[in-house]
Amino acid sequence: MEASKTPHRHFMIYKPYGFLSQFKSHDSKQQSKNFLGSLYDFPEGIMAIGRLDEKSEGLLLLTTNGKMSDYVNSRKVEKEYYAQVDGAISAEAIEKLKTGVEIGFNGKKYQTKPCKTFALKEIPNLPTRSKKIRDERHGPAPWISVVLKEGKFRQVRKMTSAVGFPTLRLVRVRVGDIQIKNMQPGDVIEIPNLRSLLEEGRGGVS
């Protein structure tokens, strides 16, 4: 009789600023870094679906199912970011972000795909970052929303820099229909129905 398989497990976390999107490291040079494994007793085989760089924050999905990770990435699920930028970003710059800009990727030039981008009318209700950001005495620092279906390394940061407005703070607030809502940095929530939350009715992974 075949032994039953251990069910896969899925989580959503609010990755804090200053954490790497990995669970531990055997590299002695990284021993002073912060890892996700310190936030929760995650099961063996856990992996991040996509990554956030060390200085970025917000929603990160985790799974023990490699097929789920492939499924999400292959379906080009929307990922929404709130970016606080350095300077009063212009309508022209936002239009360039929408249509695509040239960034560097793997040592080559890359043209980003068209995306949804708009200025936020109000400051988003987000937790205060652990490391202070400069205040508006040094100039405007407005927020924009950037919604991508691709995910190159540090893409949003590179995009805003390409149009002349470097990113000061970056928070991923949504993946598919999963939103960060009122989560706080370091929060971990187990979600048994990850696939249905991401893309209802597409099937193919369990």
pLDDT, tens digit, 9 for 90 and up, residues 36-90: 999 999 999 999 998 899 999 999 999 999 888 887 777 678 999 999 999 999 9
- Give the three-state DSSP class for 62: strand
Same domain assignment for residues 22 and 56: yes
Contact in structure between 89 and 142 (CB atoms under 8 Å): yes
Same domain assignment for residues 169 and 188: no
Query: Is residue 52 domain-resident?
Result: yes
Query: Is residue 121 domain-resident?
Result: yes
Positive/negative CA dihedral, 5, 186, 58, 48: negative
Same domain assignment for residues 91 and 27: no
Q: Residues 85-132: pLDDT tens digits?
A: 999 999 999 999 999 999 998 889 999 999 999 999 999 999 998 888
Residue 53 designated active-site: yes
Nearest to 185 by CA among 130, 131, 134: 130
Residue 172 corresponds to which tokens in the numbers above? 């991923």
Query: Is residue 1 domain-resident?
Result: no
Q: What is the total count of domains within the chain? A: 2
Contact in structure between 143 and 83 (CB atoms under 8 Å): yes
Single-letter residue type at 17:
Y
Same domain assignment for residues 88 and 148: yes
Same domain assignment for residues 83 and 166: yes
DSSP string, 141-191: --EEEEEES---TTHHHHHHHHTT--EEEEEEEEETTEE-TT--TT-EEE-
Same domain assignment for residues 85 and 106: yes
Same domain assignment for residues 170 and 102: yes
pTM above 0.85, yes or no: yes
> Annotated catalytic residue: which of 27, 41, 53, 135?
53
Contact in structure between 60 and 73 (CB atoms under 8 Å): no
Contact in structure between 13 and 39 (CB atoms under 8 Å): yes
67: containing domain: 10-76+178-198
